[in-house]
Each structure stands twice: as C-alpha cells, then as structure tokens.
Amino acid sequence: MAFVLTGMSCLQPLTPAWASPRHVQIYGRRMEALFLQMDVNGDGRLESGEVRGQRYFERRLQRPDSRGYLLLEDLRPLTPHPSGQRLQRRFHQADRNGDGRIDRRECQSLPWLSRNFVSFDLDADGGLTLEELWTVQRSLAPRP
C-alpha cells in the first residue's frame, strides 16, 4: 500500500482518486472559502493585488486566456468527477503511448511536471498516473 504525506508527519493511505467525488466537493468548498477571504474589497473579483503571494492564483491570472481578474466560478470544479477535465486532457496529451502512465520521457514537454517527477511519483514506480496527479493537485490547492 502506498502512502501520501499530508502534513509535517501525517501519512495517509493513498487511495485511488476515483474513490469518491466527495474530494472534489471539499476542494471546491476550500477554493470558495479562500476566494471570499481574499476578496478584500468584496467586489466578487480577485485582481492581482488581492492574490499577491498566492502562487496558484497568480498563475491563474497569468494564463493566456485570463481576463485580468478571477471570478468565483473560475475556481469552482467544472465536474463532480475527481481529476477534472483540464487535468485529464493534459494527462492524455502527455501519455503518448496510451498506457495510462506518464514516464520521464513523456513528461519532457511539461517542464514543471518533469522537474517534480520524483516527488509526484507517489508510489515510486517510475510512472505518473492520473490518480497520483490528482492527489498532488489537491494537496497543492491553496488552503484558507
């Protein structure tokens, strides 16, 4: 059984990401609470000054399709299915041989993934699965 580090010294069993859409609901509530906390002026938008220091939100504002601010609906999960559509799409683009795993060679086109390959390979089997990437994505989400 594989484990994931969830805190300074707290190991939890690594269960498949498909186990429950409950994780997606928790993730969505966490993002909503953080949005409301960061929306200092209460205008329903997060702009660069309000997200300063929150790398996740800063990166969202720097995307080519960004309108220069974030709305609450931009942060809500699009689907109740674990590992959302964007993650699934990117995973399948990188998984060139279609074996359900991304090996070191396949992740070369994704520099961030390539740099963090070892730490994302939670079961240390030399490949990244969609379940592992979803677990990592959830753990990297900002916390209120």
Beta bridge partners of 71: 45
On whether residue 5 sits in a domain, the answer given is no
On whether residue 6 sits in a domain, the answer given is no
Angle at 97 between CA 1 and CA 86, to 5 degrees: 75
Q: Is the dihedral of CA 92, 96, 97, 102 positive or negative?
A: negative
On whether residue 38 sits in a domain, the answer given is yes
Beta bridge partners of 62: none
Q: What is the pLDDT of residues 72-124, one digit of tens each?
A: 888 776 665 555 677 788 888 889 999 999 999 998 878 888 888 998 898 99
- Quote the mean pLDDT of the chain: 78
Residues 125 and 140 in one domain: yes
Q: What is the CATH number of the domain that holds 62?
A: 1.10.238
Domain that holds residue 99: 83-144
Domain count, the chain: 2
Residues 25 and 71 in one domain: yes
Residues 32 and 44 in one domain: yes
Q: What is the pLDDT of residues 111-121, one digit of tens each?
A: 888 888 998 89
Q: What is the pLDDT of residues 27-73, one digit of tens each?
A: 778 888 888 999 999 999 999 999 988 888 888 899 888 899 999 88
pLDDT(14) > 80? no
On whether residue 9 sits in a domain, the answer given is no
